[in-house]
């Protein structure tokens, strides 16, 4: 800080915290609704994505509420680190989505998988 | 992350947020609330605060208004820095809620105050233990007059256990008149030393006494065992003898004066302090200070207004409090001049407040009572503090059963600053947090409320201490390092 001089110990800690925040700005965890200066924030993985949006959509409004269930399914399948909901496409069910080019139209073609 | 409030074209009006401004040594400062950070302002930041003091404005307007005096870039930097410390923010931002952050479970005990007796050989008019405002029936109640060796030893075990992993624990003896139970003191100190060594914990000892029972062998024992001593005394003879009397009504000055001199001469292992009770009649603080510091030779002298119902004729009320404040300020600035020269001055009230300012404490509770400090009655009942020892309504378990953590939690929930709504708009709350529980109990019949009768006093005194802190930071900043740690 150039214009404010920290005098007591607490002020020193406040300044250090501000410095840390400035330094960590790009790496900071931000909510989906935050818009950092360099554009929209794209989170990775469903744990950071507010789907299916029961209360609010990713814009904070209600227009995009209730995504189709298949969208939710595919978020688990593609971006999520948690493999419980969908077949293991790496090892056992490599072709699981083979007949499903577009989830919203073709989701019925997804096969059942029996391990 | 601090929001960008000062970008050119920013469309949100900005306003001042919560802080207390003060000046010292020709410089301007802010005491931030509730963070308790102290920052010195430069010219542009002071100008921005002045400009905003008339009401919320657009950042561009502020910059435009002051651009004749300072370059635009510096003004925007200043605005952003002020936003960083939360001295300014967007005008429609809600007030910062007081966070209800309860201390972690199992908070360790740092200080145990042991009431080794509730009997006293003096009959001070204003006594909170025996006088008109007493909380516990010390005369006919079921508390034993003296603590037994066994209870004291159980208390030591209690302290060792409840202080958890802390390397040091404090044991303070209190009364009644503490020295009426000297045999138990001796036994307890020896026992605590031995047990402390066994479990690898250092125990520090202190006691409060009226000095009437000091004898050469007791003084020697105090010095040998490095026991910190606080003497309750009201000043020169005519002041001491007004309220601090024996049961016969005879004043105690002639008795204590030679004993205190002896104590101060022989006991050099710990600094010895005096603790003065101020009343409506006993308010010549300067004279008391000089007598106790210079004639008697106490290292430190601390003053506190008597805790009593406002109806008592010795109670300190508005005018008396103003008088007390004026004299406190005078002594405080004297303390400052000594500190600038790196010299000792014995007025301890100012030192205590400055230490809190230096560290930037922001309290959820006015003191450690019920948290890091607990009192123990002669029967071994654990209480909020020594002033509540033996009170059924303010108990926290027993030394044999340990701290009643559920009761403690309930107390901490009820007494959090979050619940003291009167305090939420006061800038002095980081330091005051509502004030003494015992004072509140005596004045308001409950420990939960803040001591509203002291508000003006506390704010004025805190302001003075901030000024002294700022002066010291300017004139002898190295001195402040003494408050580190």
Q: Does pLDDT of A106 surpass 50? A: yes
Q: What local confidence, expressed as pLDDT, does residue A71 receive? A: 54
What is the model's pLDDT at position A85?
59
Q: Of residues A105 and B327, which shows the higher confidence score?
A: B327
Strands B168-174 and B272-278: unpaired
Whether residue B363 lies within 8 A of chain A, CB to CB, comes out as no
H-state helical runs in B360-404: none
Class of domain B111-356+369-409: alpha beta
Which of A2, A5, A9 is nearest residue B358 as measured by Cβ atoms? A9
Q: Which of A11, A26, A31, A33 is best to mutate for the B interface (most B CBs within 10 A)?
A: A11
What are B460's two structure tokens?
């004025």
How far, in Å, CA of B306 to CA of B30, rounded?
Answer: 32
CA nearest B82 in A: which residue?
A4
DSSP-assigned states of every residue in B167-235: SEEEEEEESSSGGGGHHHHHHHHHHHHHHHHHHT-EEEEEEEE-STT--HHHHHHHHHTT-EEEEE--S
Q: Work out the minimum CA distance from B7 to partner chain A, whole angstroms.
A: 12
Q: Record the tokens describing residue B134, joined without a space.
A: 């007493």
The residue among B1, B97, B46 whose CA lies nearest residue B421 is B97
Distance CA B192, CA B290 (A): 37
Partners of B373 in beta bridges = B111, B369
Residue of B38, B45, B77 lying closest to A11 (CB–CB): B38
Torsion of CA B126, B127, B129, B134, to 10 degrees: 0
Rounded-to-integer distance, Cα B388 and Cα B129, Å: 9
Residue B139 DSSP class: T
> With an 8 Å Cβ cutoff, is A7 touching chain B?
yes
Q: Is B453 helix (H, G, I), strand (E, B) or coil?
A: helix
The complex scores an ipTM of 0.90
Measuring CA to CA, which residue among B273, B278, B306, B277 is closest to residue B292? B273
Q: Check if the beta carbon of residue B323 is closer than 8 Å to that of residue B283.
A: yes
The Cα–Cα gap between B326 and B318 comes to: 13
Kindly state whether A52 is in contact with chain B, defined as any CB-CB distance less than 8 angstroms.
no
**Predicted local distance difference test score (pLDDT) of residue A64:** 60
- What angle (nearest 5°) sits at the alpha carbon of residue B455, between those of residues B453 and B461? 125
Select from B118, B109, B103, B115 the least CA-distant residue to B157: B109
CB distance from A108 to chain B under 8 Å?
A: no
Map out the domains of chain B as residue ranges. 14-90, 111-356+369-409
CA distance B102 to B45: 35
Q: Both tokens of residue B223?
A: 């010095």
B39 to chain A: nearest residue by CA? A6
Nearest-CA neighbor of B19 among B34, B7, B9? Answer: B34
Whether B37 sits inside 8 A of A18 (CB atoms) is: no
Other Cβ atoms closer than 10 A to B111: 19
Across residues A70-86, what is the average pLDDT?
54
Q: How far is A35 from chain B (nearest CA, A)?
A: 12
How far apart (Å, rounded) are the C-alpha atoms in residues B284 and B306? Answer: 14
* pLDDT the model gives residue B2: 66
In b/e form, how buried is each residue of B336-352, taking b as 16+ CB within 10 angstroms?
A: beebeeeeebbbbbbbe
- A10: which chain B residues are within 8 Å (Cβ-Cβ)? 35-38, 359-362
Q: Among A4, A9, A28, select the one facing B360 at the smallest CB separation.
A: A9
Q: In sequence order, what are the residues at sequence separation of 6 or more whose Cβ sits closer than 8 angstroms to the Cβ of residue A85? A: A73, A76, A77
Burial class (CB in 10 A: 0-12, 13-18, 19+), B211: buried
Q: Kindly indicate the confidence band of residue A52, based on its pLDDT and cuts at 50, 70 and 90.
A: very low
From B74, which residue of chain A is nearest by alpha-carbon distance? A3
Q: Does the distance separating the beta carbons of A10 and B360 come in below 8 Å?
A: yes
Q: What is the Cα–Cα distance from B111 to B48, expressed in whole angstroms?
A: 46
Q: In whole angstroms, give the CA distance from residue B462 to residue B127.
A: 28
Q: What is the pLDDT along chain B (485 residues), one digit of tens a residue?
A: 566 777 888 888 999 999 999 999 999 999 999 999 999 999 999 999 999 999 999 999 999 999 999 999 999 999 999 999 999 999 988 877 777 788 988 899 999 999 999 999 999 999 988 777 788 887 777 789 999 999 999 999 999 999 999 999 999 999 999 999 999 999 999 999 999 999 999 999 999 999 999 999 999 999 999 999 999 999 999 999 999 999 999 999 999 999 999 999 999 999 999 999 999 999 999 999 999 999 999 999 999 999 988 888 889 888 899 999 999 999 999 999 999 999 999 999 999 999 999 999 999 999 999 999 999 999 999 999 999 998 988 999 999 999 999 999 999 999 999 999 999 999 999 999 999 999 999 999 999 999 999 999 999 999 999 999 999 999 999 999 999 87
Q: Are B13 and B88 in contact (CB under 8 A)?
A: no
Residue keyed to tokens 């205590």: B352
Q: Are the C-beta atoms of A50 and A62 separated by less than 8 Å?
A: no
Closest approach of chain A CAs to the CA of B312, in angstroms? 41
Give Rg (Cα) of chain B.
Answer: 25
Quick one: fold of B14-90? Answer: Outer Surface Protein A; domain 3 (3.90.930)
Query: Tokens for B471?
Result: 């002066």
Q: Say if CB B233 and CB B240 are below 8 A apart.
A: yes
- Which element (helix H / strand E) includes B31? strand B27-32
And the tokens for B484?
A: 């580190």
Nearest CA in chain B to A20: B1
For strands B402-403 and B381-383, give the pairing.
unpaired
Whole-angstrom CA distances from B349 to B82, B112, B173, B211, B331 are 32, 22, 22, 22, 10
**Whether pLDDT at A62 is above 90:** no
The strand order across the sheet containing B38-41 reads A4-6, B38-41, B27-32, B19-24
Domain ranges of chain A: 1-30, 36-109
List Cβ neighbours of B238 (8 Å cut-off, separation of 6 or more).
none
Q: What is the reported pLDDT for B11?
A: 81
Strands B300-305 and B272-278: parallel
**CA separation for the pair B79, B62 (Å, rounded):** 9
Distance CA B55, CA B20 (A): 16
Q: Which of B307, B299, B287 is nearest to B237 (CA)?
A: B287
Contact B22, B466 (CB under 8 A): yes
Which residues of B, range 27-66, sit inside 8 Å of A by Cβ? Answer: 29, 32, 35-42, 44-45
pLDDT at A50 over 70: no
Query: Cα B255 vs. chain centroid, distance in angstroms?
Result: 30
Q: ω into residue B224 within 30 of 0, thus cis?
A: no
């Amino acid at each position: 800080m150039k214009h404010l001089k920290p005098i007591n110990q607490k002020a020193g800690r406040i300044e250090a915290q501000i410095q840390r925040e400035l330094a960590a700005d790009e790496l900071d965890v931000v909510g989906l609704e935050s818009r950092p200066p360099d554009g929209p924030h794209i989170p990775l993985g469903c744990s950071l994505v507010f789907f299916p949006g029961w209360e609010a959509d990713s814009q904070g409004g209600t227009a995009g509420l209730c995504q189709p269930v298949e969208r939710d399914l595919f978020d688990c399948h593609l971006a999520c680190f948690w493999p419980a909901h969908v077949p293991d496409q790496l090892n056992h069910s490599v072709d699981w989505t083979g007949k499903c080019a577009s989830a919203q139209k073709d989701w019925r073609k997804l096969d059942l998988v029996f391990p | 992350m601090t929001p960008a409030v000062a970008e050119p074209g920013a469309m949100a009006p900005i306003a001042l947020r919560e802080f207390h401004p003060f000046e010292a040594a020709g410089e301007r400062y802010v005491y931030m609330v509730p963070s308790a950070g102290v920052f010195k302002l430069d010219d542009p930041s002071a100008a921005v605060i002045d400009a905003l003091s008339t009401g919320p404005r657009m950042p561009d307007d502020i910059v435009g208004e002051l651009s004749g005096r300072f370059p635009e870039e510096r003004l925007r930097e200043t605005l952003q820095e002020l936003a960083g410390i939360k001295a300014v923010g967007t005008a429609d931002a809600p007030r910062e809620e007081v966070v209800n952050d309860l201390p972690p479970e199992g908070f360790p005990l740092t200080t145990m105050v042991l009431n080794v007796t509730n009997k006293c050989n003096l009959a001070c008019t204003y006594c909170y233990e025996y006088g008109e405002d007493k909380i516990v029936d010390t005369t006919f109640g079921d508390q034993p007059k003296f603590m037994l060796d066994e209870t004291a030893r159980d208390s030591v075990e209690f302290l060792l256990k409840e202080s958890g992993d802390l390397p040091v624990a404090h044991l303070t003896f209190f009364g009644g008149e503490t020295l009426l139970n000297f045999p138990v003191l001796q036994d307890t100190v020896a026992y605590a030393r031995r047990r402390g060594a066994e479990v690898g914990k250092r125990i520090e000892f202190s006691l409060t006494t009226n000095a009437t029972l000091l004898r050469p062998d007791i003084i020697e024992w105090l010095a040998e065992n490095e026991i910190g001593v606080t003497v309750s005394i009201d000043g020169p003879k005519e002041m001491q003898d007004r309220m601090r009397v024996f049961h016969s009504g005879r004043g105690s000055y002639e008795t204590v004066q030679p004993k205190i001199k002896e104590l101060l001469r022989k006991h050099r292992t710990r600094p010895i302090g005096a603790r003065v009770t101020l009343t409506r009649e006993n308010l010549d603080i300067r004279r008391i200070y000089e007598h106790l510091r210079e004639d008697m030779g106490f290292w430190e002298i601390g003053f506190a207004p008597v805790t009593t119902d406002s109806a008592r004729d010795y109670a300190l009320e508005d005018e008396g409090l103003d008088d007390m404040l004026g004299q406190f300020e005078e002594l405080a600035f004297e303390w400052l001049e000594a500190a600038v020269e790196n010299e000792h001055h014995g007025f301890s009230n100012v030192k205590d407040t400055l230490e809190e300012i230096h560290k930037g404490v922001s309290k959820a509770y006015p003191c450690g009572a019920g948290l890091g400090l607990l009192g123990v009655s002669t029967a071994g009942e654990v209480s909020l503090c020594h002033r509540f020892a033996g009170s059924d309504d303010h108990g926290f378990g027993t030394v044999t059963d340990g701290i009643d953590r559920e009761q403690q939690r309930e107390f901490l929930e009820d007494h959090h600053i979050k619940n003291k709504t009167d305090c939420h708009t006061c800038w002095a709350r980081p330091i005051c947090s509502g004030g003494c529980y015992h004072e509140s109990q005596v004045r308001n019949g409950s420990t939960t409320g803040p001591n509203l009768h002291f508000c003006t006093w506390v704010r004025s005194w805190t302001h003075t201490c901030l000024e002294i802190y700022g002066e010291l930071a300017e004139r002898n900043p190295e001195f402040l390092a003494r408050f580190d740690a």
